[in-house]
Amino acid sequence: MADFLLNALLAGLALALVAGPLGSFVVWRRMAYFGDTLAHAALLGVALGLLLEVSLTLTVVVGCVLLAVLLVFLQQRQPLASDTLLGILAPSTLSLGLVTLSFMKNVRVDLMGYLFGDLLAVGSNDLAWILGGSALVLALLVLLWRPLLAITVHEELAQVEGLPVAGIRLALMLLIAVVIAVAMKIVGVLLITSLLIIPAAAAQRHARTPEEMAVGASLLGVVAVCAGLSLSWIEDTPAGPSIVVAAATLFLVSLALPRRLGR
């Protein structure tokens, strides 16, 4: 297998495995718009990385994490609704990134690659970031699984039981930020949240427990990555959008199948 295809496959599978359980929390807590906001901010991290001449992945990770912290701060201090704040920050950060890139006349940037991903161009350094970030997020998810479930089911009850609800909620936002940052190379800033949401939504119809949904979402993500890469290799279609199309197809298939009994 060609090195670039092997790198693409490993990167896609690593992201699919971690996006399953994390995407389940995104679906349960209705945080899709939050994920979109962080994804839009990733382009601003790219612009700052080019401006400062440092690792783009590092600046994207730092930028997404800082935006997640800013969102938590604004939600606590401002009377505006959360969706209003997200509606302000998402286009603002994306536009600021595009304007910043336009000022760098001597830097050639493949905007299409950043917006829609360039999975087949994943290099060894990119693969190391993706594998390392995915492993870290997956380990933290396993560690925080029960507290995250508790605040998802009933935040007030979890607080009464002594769980640090605000800290756990912030940890979830930071995990989403890290996954979005490392996934930028795979599906691009405009399609990142699709890998979090679509497999989880497809698995939700047929899962009886949270754990079943998380595992099912990961498996569906793996299938979507393999199918999307195969389509890209055979028909020469864009890799990132092909993976999203495969995931959407799996979701439609899940709708056609009868729902499993039980909860």
Cβ atoms 10, 131 nearer than 8 A = yes
Predicted local confidence at residue 182, as pLDDT: 79
Residue with tokens 């700052």: 48
8 A C-beta contact, residue 46 and residue 104: no
| Dihedral sign from CA coordinates of 163, 61, 111, 82 | positive
Rounded CA separation 142/260 (Å) = 26
pLDDT in tens, 87-145: 888 888 889 888 888 888 777 766 677 777 777 677 788 788 888 988 999 999 999 99
Q: How far is CA 128 from CA 15, 132, 175, 179, 229, in A?
A: 12, 6, 18, 14, 20
In 3-state terms, what secondary structure has residue 259? Answer: coil
Tokens of 207: 């899962």
Amino acid at 11: A
Helices 210-235 and 3-28, packing angle to 10 deg: 140
Task: Give Cα 149 to chain centroid, integer Å.
Answer: 19
pTM metric for this prediction: 0.85
Angle at CA of residue 197, ends 230 and 84, nearest 5°: 135
Smallest Cα–Cα separation from 100: which of 86, 113, 111? 111
pLDDT per 10-residue tile (average), the chain, 263 residues: 78 90 91 81 84 81 83 76 82 87 76 72 81 91 93 88 88 87 75 87 90 94 92 86 92 86 50
